[in-house]
Amino acid sequence: MRIPPPGNMARIHLFEFEDQQAFPSFLRNYMTDFLQFLSNKTRLFHPILPLLAEAIRQSGSRQLIDLASGGGGGLLGLLDELRQKFPELRVLQTDYYPNRDAAAYLQQTRPDVDYLDVPVDARQVPTHLKGLRTLFLALHHFRPADARAILQNAIDARSGIAIFEGQEHSLPSLLAMFFSPVSVLLTTPFIRPFRLGRLVFTYLIPLVPLCVWWDGIVSSLRTYSVDEMRALIHSLDRHDTFSWHIGRIKSGPAAVLYLIGTAQESATQIQLI
């Protein structure tokens, strides 16, 4: 029996708690706060810095429109180094379910980052939000039709887009997610903003670690492989008017999958590989 290489197994779209409209917003916020904290403390996305910097340069924009930002997302840990290259860089974070506690905390700790406190649908970004669009740990939440809508909307708006996933559909990734409750238990006291409820629903009523465990495993099952991302691109109208860069890069024991597209008139040609 041939075992597929990492990330090449067909995705399975099971449900995640975080996606459910009826899911309590405070629990969703605790979960996205954890993801933001862990991805930045472990520097998960640090290896993609050159890719993102090149996408910013090629896009011709000095504003990032971060979609599905949750509690701040993986972008926050990259900003200081990005601003060394682009001092004028501006950042606007958005989400379909805005994490208003995280937004308020960012206003105090990162005044250089704005967080829009009204829902923004990544499939239909308002036309006045202009800049290079980014998604961290988010594409897997969308079924193929919705993922295509995100990409098609970027093409239609002539807006560059850079997508990064920190898990993949592979046995090592699934094993890491299986033990994710341990990370929740170890890191929760250090996550900011401090919330007493976060401690209650982590240690006394362990809903946060249980939901992170389930959603983490499902996230790996849902993640688009490099080949599946290529297929998404080839299914889009006018996809050839953009330059696309799709791949997988190591990040410590894990890997980051990426999909980057920029309009050709503002970019040197990147081959779809």
Q: From residue 162, how far is each of 9, 53, 100, 244, 271 by CA, in Å?
A: 23, 10, 24, 10, 15
Establish if 194 belongs to a structural domain: no
Return all residues near 159 (Cβ < 8 A) that are at least 6 apart: 59, 65, 125, 130, 131, 132, 133, 263
Q: Which of 42, 12, 44, 60 is nearest to 174 (CA)?
A: 12
Question: Region 74-87: what's the mean pLDDT?
Answer: 95
Q: Which of 52, 55, 66 is nearest to 242 (CA)?
A: 55
Residue ranges making up the domain that contains 251: 38-175+223-266
Which is it for the CA torsion 231, 166, 209, 178, positive or negative?
A: positive
Establish if 157 belongs to a structural domain: yes
Establish if 89 belongs to a structural domain: yes
Establish if 197 belongs to a structural domain: no
Q: Which of 199, 55, 207 is nearest to 132 (CA)?
A: 55
Q: What is the pLDDT of residue 272?
A: 45
Are residues 39 and 74 in contact, defined by beta-carbon separation less than 8 angstroms? yes
Which of 9-13, 117-121, 217-221 bottoms out in mean pLDDT, i.e. has the lowest? 9-13
Q: What is the pLDDT of residue 234?
A: 96
pLDDT of 214 higher than 80 = yes
Establish if 15 belongs to a structural domain: no
Q: pLDDT of 133-160, one tens digit each? A: 999 999 999 999 999 999 999 999 999 9
pLDDT of 237 higher than 50 = yes
Establish if 218 belongs to a structural domain: no
Establish if 56 belongs to a structural domain: yes
Helix axes 180-187, 25-41, angle to 10 degrees: 90
Neighbours of 82 (CB within 10 A): 17
Question: Region 72-81: what's the mean pLDDT?
Answer: 94
How many domains would you assign to the chain? 1
Q: What is the CATH number of the domain that holds 241?
A: 3.40.50.150
Establish if 98 belongs to a structural domain: yes
State the pTM of this model: 0.92
pLDDT > 70: percent of the chain: 94
